Every structure is written in C-alpha cells, then in structure tokens.
C-alpha cells in the first residue's frame, strides 16, 4: 500500500483509484493484474512454514520401532566387527535396506495424501468476482490483487480489504473482525476523520461477509497487509484435532506396541534364563528376535495407509461432484442418520416455470417448461386475446421481471439464466407473451430494496421513459406478505379498492395453486408520488396496487426419487425444509416419497417459533416436512434432531443458512447457488446442487469406512499371525525340533525375514484394499453410530482366529522339514525356515482376499479389484526372488525350494482361506436361523 493510502477511508473513491492506478469502472487490465500478483504474491494469510521434503523423509524414521531396528543394525554390525569383519555385514545391511524401504514407502504415501488433500482444497477454494478489462471474471480469492475492482452481493465473502465505490443497501457481517454481532450498513461516502475499524463504513474487510445488497469496491490491501492479516501475525498456529478414527488407530498402535514389547522382554528374558549364550553371535540373534517380535506386532504403515485410503475415497467423491473439504468428515458422513434438505434446486431441477397466472379478470395457463421461451399464454385453451385479462397478465409479468436481477440470454443455441431461477421464470413467461423488448426499452432502474428471507419481498424503483421519467415502485414476494401491504387491485389498465372479500378470494386462489404443487408469488406496484423522495426504503412498500399471482413449478429431478428410496433403505431419514407454502411442500414430499400421501403433517415456521425446545424435540422425531421456514428455524430444527441422538446432514445456500450448516454434523453447501459464506461454513460442497449426490456421497462414505475396516482386519490379523508364530515357535522350539536342528537357541524365523514380511505384505496389498468396490449391502443397513468402535469385539475375535491359523500352518511347515519334532522331516534348518517364511507370506496374501468381506465368500467378485490382484502378484514375485536369488539367499537366510515344495507351501497357506470360508458358512447358517426365528 502506498503512503497516501494509509487510511483510504478518508479519501474519495476516485482518489483511491488514482493512487492505485486503476479504473473505478473497468478495473485493472488483465496483464497488469497478473504483474501485480507476481509482485505482491497470493492473497492469503501466511501459513506455517512449509516443511522441506528432506525433513518429511527424515520424520519417517522418528518412531520407537525404527529406533529398535537402528539399534539392531548397530548390534549386528558390532558383532560382525568383533568376529573379524569378514565379508560384508549382511544382516545389518539387509535390516538397513528394509528400514530405508519402509521410510520411502511412508514418504510416498504421505506425499500422495497431501497432494490429494491439496487438490480438494483447491476445488473448495473461495472465489471473488473481479472486474478486469471492463468485464466480470470469477477468480479464486488468492488471485485478487491491490487495485482490483471487486463486485459483491449478498452471500459473498469479502476477499480483501477494499474501499467502496458504490453500494445499494449493502450490509456486512464483521463479527469475525470487530466482535459486533449486528451487520453494518455500508456507505461509499468519504469519512471526515479517522475512525475505528467498526466505524469505517466505506471500507470492506477481508474475512467478513456481505449479508444484504450489492456494491463495488477497490482492493486496497491483500494477504498479510489486511486488517485480518495484522491480527493473524499476532497469533500462533494451533494443531488440527485428530479425528476419532485416527485417535483409535493411535490407541491400537500404542496398545499393541506396549503389549508386544512386554512379550519381547519376557521372551528374551526367558531365553537368557534357560539357554546358555555362548558367543556374541547368539547374543545378537536373541536381541534381534526381541526386535523382530516388536516389529511383527505393530503395523507401522497403518496411519499413512489410513490417510491415503481416506484421500483416495474423497477424490472419488469429488469425481461424483461431492467435494469434501476435510478427510475427517468422511467418518461423520458415513454415520448420517438424518439428511435435512432444501427443495429448490436440490430435490428439483431449479428451472422454475410459470404455469398459471391469476388476476382480477380470470386465470391463464402458460405452456412450455425450462428456460427456453417456447410456449404460449392461453385462456381456457385459446390464445390470450387483447383485453382486460391480457392487460392484467402483462402487468403481472412486467412487474415481476422488473423486480428482478436475473438475466436470460441465448448462448450457443441454448437459453441460459444468470441469477435466481424464480426471477428468470418471469423473463421466460414475458417472452412467451411477447412483451419483453418493449419493457426493457421503457424502464431504467433507479434503486432497489433487495430480497431477504426475513421480509420475503423484493422492490425496485424504475424510471418510466413513457411518462417523462416518472418512477414506479415494483414489488414481488410471498402472496400473504405482499397482500397485507396492498390497498388496491389492478383491473384492466386501471385500479380499484381491494375489499376484504377480494382478499379472501385471492388467498383461496393461492391455496388452490399450492394444492396443485405450484409455488406462488405475487406482484404489486405503485406510481411514486412526485412529493415522495425516490430513495429505496421499506416505507415505499406500502399502499401498493395488487397485480396478481403466478403459480410456478420446479420439476423434481428424475434421479431424486430413487435416491430417497435408497436413503430410506439405508436407515436414513429425509427431512425437507423449505420456504414454500405448506401445501406445496407436502405435495412435493409425497411425490418424492419423503412423506406418506395420507396422514402426514407439515410444520410451518410459525409453529416452530411457538414451540419450546422440549416440544420441538418431540415433534422433530416424527415431522419430515417443514414449510415457510426462515433460516433461523433451520438452526433450531438441527438442534432438536441432534438432541434426539441423530447425526444430521444439512443443506444450505444462503448466507443466513451458515449457522445451521456449522451446527449440523455435516454441513452441505450448494456449489452452484451457494454463497461463499455457506461454502466456508460447510463440510461438503455439492458441485451440482443435486440431492442424489448427497446420497451418493453417503454411500461413498460408508464404502470408505468399509475399506478402512477391511485393511485393518487384514493388517492386524496378519501381524497377529507373525507374533504368534514367533511367540509359539520360541516356546515350543523343542517340540518343533528347532533345538535339535540348531543347538541351544534357534528362532523359527530370522529377524530379517519378519521385517521382509512386513515390508512385503503391509504395504501394497493393504493399500489395494482401499480400492475395493462398495459392499453390495452398504446401503441396506442402518448408519453406524458415532460411538461404535472401529475395531469391535467381532473384529478382535476374527483377528485372533486368523492369527492362530496362520501361526499353526507356518509352524507346521517348519516342523515338516526338521528331523525332530512332531513330524519327522529330512530338510535343513534353512529349508525349514524358508518353507515357514514362504507359508507365512502366502497365508497373508490369501488373507487379503479373506479381509474383503466378513460375510461373503472370498471367491465372490474376485476380479472386481484389479489393484489387489496386481499387489498380490507383485508380492508373490518378490517372494520368489528372495527364495531363489543367491545373493538374497545370503541376505535373508533362505534356501531354494522345488516345485513340489512350493506347491506344499501354497496348500498349507491356503488353510487360512479355507478356515475363514468355513467360519463364514457357519456364521451364515447361524444368522439364517436367527432370522427364521424372529
């Protein structure tokens, strides 16, 4: 900022523009904006310094288990040196390579997850409407530069500090900066003296929001130079809270680590107490055994894989047009039990079409749907003829089009609307009547009172060129609200007093249209008396002339009914909250299957106001349709549903919806019609404003959670197999013939072999399970409770069962090769270990297919996840190399196996698969029996 702009609120807007070398009408040239962006940098607050890649890589080794492995490398290398440093310290090198491999995998997974999250953040980034080269451009808020001319309207977030150039009833919520809860009415006039931030009425500040009206402003400061940036410079950064799922994973890791370190200490202590450790080499073997037991138990890559799977799933959601802003939201999304949704644009196509027009002289129909002006206006099936009814219809459509900010244009052969679809409906119908060009050439806007959800009205002041610049007040809004402000009614081209009988008749017409599921909107007007000041104020919306009522419809989206049915089947209740007439709301709800056609009640906003919290909570348990509600009612409805124990997802688009979205467990903003404020408050953004996308996102959220349980089941049961193999192998060494084969102390598997198994099976196959398609029944059971454990008792028992089977077949393979033991064999210790080592690897790969479902057979949908097949195939190839390449034989203590020996290993390892298949069959029979009884 230049010295002359230390306080732009004291300068005239033209002087601010001159100081910043910008045009207050056309804005900056695009080339100059690009140059300023390069010079000033991105418009964002400084974040924490980026951690260099090398530090992120080094962080992969900051783990107690890695410290153990590093200690093992040191012990092994010292032993090699004491024994004469003959050849290479193979064992130490192998462990070091495995540690390095684990670090590389963890680093790659972390970078992949960070890239996915960054991509999502870019998709959800706030935007700003800037004027450059005289044309409007929508850019990300990061790209706003000093001197930019920005256009703002209701619901926009202010991207940077800016000096107002013009405004119309513009108010801004500045509580985030000043602490004042009431929105501030802004004015472009210069201040005469320096004022506090909250009193700088001609300034807009970054981080605040426009709550009403519209205006233009010149950006005076961006990034850390803004008022919000100065505050941020004084604040430290806080760490983001870990999610319940992440905390549970951390707890599992700590619990396993403590338990297995304790077991390792006990085993190593027992060996020292019962065996004679005769040389340094045996001491190293015992210490490495303790380390390998600890490493075998804890899936070190679990947090990284969890993050990657969440990121992959959320990217998949984004491709379905549901942008989840935080990975942690996925957990809540899968648990949603109630979806509160608006009607317009979410359940419907958001293409409002006027079908009926009711005036004093009668009623006409308008044919055609959508935004294309194809159709006609008819009276009892015949084209509308000139006369009083035609004049009245023309007045209704003309007044509704004037009290509008929408623009209808033809682009590439199709009609496109910019603005509110309800307002666009008047433009389309007016073209069908054939009067659009005449109207647009006759009137010029002089001011307006914007629509607000509290007033339910919009008013414009229009200069009429046909009557020497006379100004007319044009108002449209809710029929009951507008009718109360009218004293006369248009009849032909004149007006007559509005009697009580006529008021009742109009309201009956409104009810009749609402019964036909038509949304009703009324239009009124009045010429402004020459003595009245032509300034937009609420006082102008009195003593109006009632023109008529239109009935319009927004057709339901074709896919919504099926989506609602799917949600109901998943135990998710749908609640419709709309500003429409109660009869319209109930009819649409019944048509879509949200509420039954008979015996269903609808609660109006006035009824919400009349109830206390306890009463509303009781009613919320059964009410599925709310009509004529204001945004503040949404917050109470959300609170009532949550008080009943529901996990609530809530949709919203207007700035006043933001509190309800923030209070909901999952706030869902509309990507097309939603304001920047609602997008900022929401957890998820619908790129297509479609209800079916919400259900698809819930389905995906449940699928992601199912995949998390799959890979947890796989990792924990596989690691349990390793721990039990080592634990039972040491305790039963004499029974298996290990002592006879190797002397005083022989472990069933070497530490390097255990580490290789972890590297081989805990990475690619576990990650591939994150790509599993959703279970067939993912939307056929009730939502998961937020207090339900991820690793529940059933999973714990399954992990233990699979671990026992794995350990049993691995130890059996070792026993079959050794001369002593339960079964007399004729192989060497290296062959026995190689066989057990191979069986354990293959058993874990078979277990990957088991983990795909706790109910369905592993043979069902075997080829639906090609990534899993590739991961398993790659693991098998690498295991073959370890067994048959001579230099890897030396590194891992393996010996080549014959074809028959490989076949034997496959058969033994497959026992894990068959045991699980048998358990699933038995469990299925038990479930069927219980269902038959109930």
Residues forming the active site: 342
- For CA atoms 794, 795, 796, 799, give the dihedral sign: positive
**Which residue in this structure is represented by tokens 């098998």?**
876
Retrieve residue 300's tokens. Answer: 């070190």
Burial code (b: 16+ CB inside 10 Å, e: under 16) for 569-597 equals: ebebbbbbbbbbbbbbbbbbbbebbbbee
Retrieve residue 254's tokens. Answer: 């700590």
Give Cα 631 distance to the centre of its chain. Answer: 22
Dist CA 760 CA 754 (whole Å): 10
Length of the chain as a residue count = 934
Inter-helix orientation angle 280-297/751-761, to 10°: 20
Residue-by-residue DSSP string for 300-349: TTHHHHHHHHHHHHHHHHHHTTEEES-TTHHHHHTT--EEEE-STTTTB-
Contact 60, 714 (CB under 8 A): no
Residue-by-residue DSSP string for 597-613: SSS---EEHHHHHHS-H
Q: Beta strand pairing status for 353-359 and 544-553?
A: antiparallel
912: part of which helix (H) or strand (E)?
helix 911-933
Contact 809, 909 (CB under 8 A): yes
The closest of 111, 117, 564 to 318, measured between CA atoms, is 117
Beta strands, E only, 420-556: 443-449, 457-464, 470-477, 486-491, 494-497, 519-527, 544-553
Q: Where are the alpha helices (DSSP H) in 158-301?
A: 175-178, 227-234, 244-274, 280-297
Q: Beta strand pairing status for 573-577 and 338-341?
A: parallel
For residue 263, the SS3 value is helix
397: part of which helix (H) or strand (E)?
helix 388-402
3-state secondary structure 30-93: HHHHHHHHHHHCCCCCCCCCCCCHHHHHHHCCCCHHHHHHHHHHHHHHHHHHHCCCCCCCHHHH
For residue 111, the SS3 value is helix
């Amino acid at each position: 900022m230049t010295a002359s702009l230390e306080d732009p609120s004291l300068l005239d807007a033209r002087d601010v523009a001159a100081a910043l070398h910008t045009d207050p009408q056309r804005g900056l040239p695009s080339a100059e904006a690009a140059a300023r962006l390069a010079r000033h940098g991105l418009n964002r607050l400084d974040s924490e310094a980026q951690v260099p890649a090398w530090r992120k890589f080094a962080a992969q080794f900051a783990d107690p288990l890695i410290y153990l492995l590093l200690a093992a490398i040191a012990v092994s290398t010292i032993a090699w040196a004491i024994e004469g440093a003959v050849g290479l310290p193979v064992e130490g090198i192998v462990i070091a390579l495995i540690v390095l491999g684990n670090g590389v995998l963890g680093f790659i997974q972390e970078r992949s997850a960070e890239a996915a999250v960054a991509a999502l953040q870019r998709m959800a980034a706030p935007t700003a409407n800037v004027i450059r080269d005289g044309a409007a451009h929508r850019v990300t808020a990061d790209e706003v530069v000093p001197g930019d001319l920005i256009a703002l309207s209701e619901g926009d977030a202010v991207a940077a500090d800016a000096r107002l150039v013009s405004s119309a009833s513009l108010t801004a919520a500045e509580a985030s900066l000043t602490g004042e809860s009431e929105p501030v009415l802004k004015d472009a006039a210069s201040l005469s003296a320096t004022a506090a931030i909250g009193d700088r009425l001609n300034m807009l500040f970054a981080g605040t929001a426009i709550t009403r009206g519209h205006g233009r402003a010149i950006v005076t400061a961006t990034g850390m130079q803004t008022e919000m940036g100065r505050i941020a410079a004084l604040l430290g950064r806080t760490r983001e809270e870990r999610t319940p799922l992440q905390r549970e994973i951390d707890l599992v890791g700590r619990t396993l680590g403590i338990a297995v370190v304790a077991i390792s200490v006990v085993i190593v202590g027992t060996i020292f107490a019962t065996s004679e450790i005769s040389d340094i080499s045996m001491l190293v073997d015992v210490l490495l055994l303790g380390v390998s037991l600890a490493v075998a138990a804890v899936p070190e890559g679990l947090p990284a894989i969890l993050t990657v799977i969440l990121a992959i799933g959320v990217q998949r959601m984004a491709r379905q047009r549901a942008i989840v802003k935080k990975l942690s939201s996925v957990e809540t999304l899968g648990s949603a039990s109630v979806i509160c949704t608006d009607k317009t644009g979410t359940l419907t196509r958001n293409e409002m079409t006027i079908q009926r027009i009711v005036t004093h002289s009668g009623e006409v129909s308008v044919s055609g749907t959508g935004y294309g002006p194809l159709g006609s206006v008819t009276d009892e099936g015949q084209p509308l003829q000139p006369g009083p009814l035609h004049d009245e219809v023309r007045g209704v459509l003309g007044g509704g089009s004037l009290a509008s900010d929408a623009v209808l244009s033809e682009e590439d052969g199709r009609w496109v609307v910019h603005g509110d679809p309800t307002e666009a409906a008047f433009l389309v119908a007016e073209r069908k009547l054939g009067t659009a060009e005449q109207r647009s050439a006759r009137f010029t806007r002089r001011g307006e009172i914007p629509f607000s959800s509290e007033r339910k009205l919009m008013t414009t002041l229009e200069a009429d060129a046909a009557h020497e610049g006379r100004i007319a007040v044009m108002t449209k809004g809710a029929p009951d609200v507008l009718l109360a402000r009218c004293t006369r009614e248009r009849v032909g081209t004149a007006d007559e007093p509005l009697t009580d009988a006529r008021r009742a008749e109009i309201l009956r017409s409104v009810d009749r249209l609402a019964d036909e599921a038509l949304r009703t909107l009324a239009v009124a007007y009045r010429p402004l008396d020459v003595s009245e000041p032509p300034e937009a104020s609420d006082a102008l919306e009195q003593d109006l002339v009632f023109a008529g009522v239109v009935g319009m419809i927004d057709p339901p989206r074709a896919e919504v009914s099926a989506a609602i049915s799917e949600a109901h089947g998943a135990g998710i209740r749908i609640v419709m909250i709309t500003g429409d007439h109660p009869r319209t709301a109930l009819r649409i709800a019944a048509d879509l299957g949200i509420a039954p056609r008979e015996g269903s009640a609808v609660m109006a906003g006035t009824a919400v106001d009349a109830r206390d919290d306890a009463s509303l909570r009781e009613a919320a348990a059964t009410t599925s349709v709310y009509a004529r509600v204001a945004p503040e009612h949404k917050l109470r409805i959300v609170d009532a549903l949550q008080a009943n124990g529901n996990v609530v997802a809530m949709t919203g688009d207007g700035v006043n919806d933001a509190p309800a979205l923030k209070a909901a467990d999952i706030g869902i903003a509309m990507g097309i019609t939603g304001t920047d404020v609602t997008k900022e408050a929401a957890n998820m953004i619908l790129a297509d404003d479609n209800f079916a996308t919400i259900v698809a996102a819930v389905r995906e959220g449940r699928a992601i959670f199912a995949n998390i349980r799959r890979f947890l089941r796989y990792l924990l049961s596989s690691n349990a197999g390793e721990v039990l193999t080592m634990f039972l192998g040491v305790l039963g060494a004499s029974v298996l013939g290990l002592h006879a084969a190797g002397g005083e102390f022989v472990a069933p598997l070497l530490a390097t072999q255990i580490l290789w198994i972890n590297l081989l099976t805990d990475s690619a196959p576990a990650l591939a399970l994150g790509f599993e398609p959703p279970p067939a029944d993912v939307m056929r059971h009730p939502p998961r409770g937020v207090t339900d454990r991820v690793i529940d008792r059933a999973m714990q028992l399954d992990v233990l069962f699979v671990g026992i089977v794995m350990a049993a077949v691995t130890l059996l393979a070792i026993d079959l090769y050794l001369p002593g033991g339960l079964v007399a064999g004729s192989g060497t210790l290296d062959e026995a270990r190689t066989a057990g080592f191979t069986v354990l690897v293959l058993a874990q790969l078979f277990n990957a297919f088991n983990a795909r479902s706790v109910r369905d057979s592993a043979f069902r949908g075997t080829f639906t996840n090609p990534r899993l097949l590739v991961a398993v195939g790659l693991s098998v190839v690498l295991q073959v190399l370890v067994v048959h390449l001579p230099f890897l034989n030396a590194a891992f203590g393996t010996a080549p196996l014959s074809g028959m020996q490989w076949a034997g290993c496959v058969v033994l390892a497959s026992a894990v698969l068959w045991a699980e298949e048998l358990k699933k069959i038995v469990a299925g029979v038990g479930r069927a029996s219980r269902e038959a009884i109930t």
